[in-house]
Structure 1
Amino acid sequence: MSGHSKWANIKRKKEKTDGAKAKVFTKIGRELTVAAREGGADPNNNSKLRDLIAKAKANNVPNDNIERLLKKAGDSKEDYEEITYEGYGPSGVAVIVETLTDNRNRTAGDLRHYFDKCGGNLGQSGSVSFLFEAKGMIYIENEDNKIGEEKAMDDCFEAGASDYNYEDEMITVVTEPNDVSKVAGKLAEMGYVYDSAEVEYIPMTKVQITDPELVEKMQKLLDMFDDNDDVQNVYHNWDMPEEEDEE
């Protein structure tokens, strides 16, 4: 998953229909609830919550919804746990699925069904993660390229970034996994507004699918993950055709 494909995914979510937006709101709302319960509802004292609020706003979650979720977080009876699943899709595409679930048996059963239905298989922990590299990724929308590349580069490295990518209307900042919130906070202090600041799994190699039927199955697998409320993030090493580069 490159910075470009992640940004394509962010833009795609912004343009979703109302029904699909509700799915996105549900997923992000669950993350906000868990972060607020674990670290408190004040984003000034909870960097993870601060980053998730930025993500929610980038996905057009209304401020009223965010405030309501934070107020209810302490009273929520739902007990979610973070579970990461690994498996292989069609043509040996490696897939990592991050979930937040209140029923691990249900979630595991759903994911196993998705993999099986699309010609893949759910694997054990560690079965594909060695094919990915964990990186902190921060995405800053740069409308009309108002922020020049030299300034962006200087500020990113001053904030503690390990790398950056300057492209059309988007600055992608790369950090070590444990530094993503710290770097995002420093960039915010400099006046930058970021759309997302999370640890992502970046594939070290890509797998191409040439059979149209398997391409369709792989896309169907990703769509099923997208439709499942328990699934928060999906990472894979499919070298997707450019026009379909949405995951």
Structure 2
Amino acid sequence: MSGHSKWENIKRKKGATDAARAKIFTKIGREIAVVVKQGGADPAGNAKLRDLIAKAKSNNVPNDNIDRIIKKAAGDGDKNSYESMVYEGYGPSGVAVIVECLTDNKNRTAGDIRHFFDKFGGNMGTSGCVSFMFSDVGTVVMENNGADEDKIMEDCFEAGADDFNVDDDVIEISCDPNQVSSVREALEGMGYKVLSAEAEKVPSNYTTIEDEDAIKKMGLLLEHLEDDDDVQNVYHNWENMPVEEEE
């Protein structure tokens, strides 16, 4: 995901097929279930849950689905227990890859992730082998409301942003990853429409792939990783990743 603007990822998700959209719903639902069990079912007292509800709505998850997931996770009837796992490795041409998972079966997930790396010309490494190349950054993306840049700058920094970038369609903001909730809520309070707000891993340097076969394999590796139900996020430092055109 990293290596391109967050907005490109959002546009790609919004244009996803029904099958891909269902997977997005499943992944967000799994995240919601985990934070409800950790911090309770009341969004007012659970900032992570508020962020995930906003994320679900920005991905067009119906409110009924969100409510059902929260109630199920808060009840005694939900026996699912997901564990957070992080896998690291290298794709073709030495591209650094971090895979964040939520799984109810570590052996199955580790085997699947290793298989994808092996099949598409990469190799899964040990913990910490590539994470030193990435920094944790809070990223907030909101619609460009047409305000002049001085006003946008004033609002962003007042909300707690470290930096911002104005595009034709959106404004992308970086902030402390622990301040994502407060920054999002401050901007929404100012009347901005937030499209995405979450912490992500941003690479400190990028790798370019020249070989056509390696480009194809790297694309397939990312596709299979992101399609796996246990995988929540995939971060990489592939600089020249092809961008899908909007139809």
TM-score exceeds 0.5: yes
Q: CA RMSD in A?
A: 1.8
Match of 1:110 among 112, 130, 140: 112
Q: SS state of the match for residue 72, structure 1?
A: helix
Structure 1 CA distance, aligned partners of 2:195 and 2:56? 8
Equivalent pairs counted in the alignment come to 244
Corresponding residue for 1:50? 50
The equivalent residue for 1:96 is 98
Shift of residue 242 of structure 1?
A: 4.8
Alignment pair present for 1:31 and 2:31: yes
Amino acid at match of 2:228: N
Q: Match for 2:22: what amino acid?
A: A
The DSSP-based 3-state class of the residue aligned with 1:98 is strand
Q: Which runs of 4+ in 1 moved over 6 A?
A: none
Residue in 2 aligned with 1:231?
231
Cα distance between partner residues in 1 of 2:146 and 2:68: 34
Gaps of 5+ in 1: none
With structure 2 as the length reference, what TM-score do the two structures score? 0.93
AA matched with 1:116: D
Matched ranges for 1:92-171 at <5 A: 92-142=94-144, 145-171=145-171
The residue identity in structure 1 corresponding to 2:59 is N
* Percent of aligned pairs with the same amino acid: 60
Summarize deviations over 1:73-123 as a string: whole Å, max 9, x none. 112210011111111000000001111111111111100000000111111
Q: Which residue of 2 aligns with 1:60?
A: 60
Q: Residues of 2 paired with 1:219 and 1:242: CA distance?
A: 8
**How big is the shift at 1:12?**
1.1
Amino acid of the structure 2 residue aligned with 1:216: K
Q: Which residue of 2 aligns with 1:217?
A: 217
Deviation at 1:71, TM superposition (A): 1.2
Change (3 A) 1:4 1:237: closer
In the other structure, the counterpart of 1:183 is 183
Matched residues in 2 for 1:151 and 1:45: separation? 31
Q: Is the 8 A contact 2:3 2:239 kept in 1?
A: no
- TM-score of the two chains, using structure 1 as the length reference: 0.93
Alignment gaps of 5+ in structure 2: none
Aligned-partner SS, 1:243: coil
Deviations 1:184-216 (Å, cap 9, x if unpaired)?
A: 222222233322221111111111101110000
For residues 209 and 93 of structure 1, the distance between their equivalents in structure 2, rounded to whole angstroms, comes to: 8
1-10 or 50-59, which moves further after superposition? 1-10
**Given that residues 52 and 196 in structure 1 are in contact (C-alpha distance below 8 angstroms), is that contact kept between their aligned partners in structure 2?**
no
Conserved? CA contact 1:140–1:192, under 8 Å: yes
8 Å contact from structure 2 (residues 13, 59) kept in 1: yes
Tell me the equivalent position of 1:77. Answer: 79
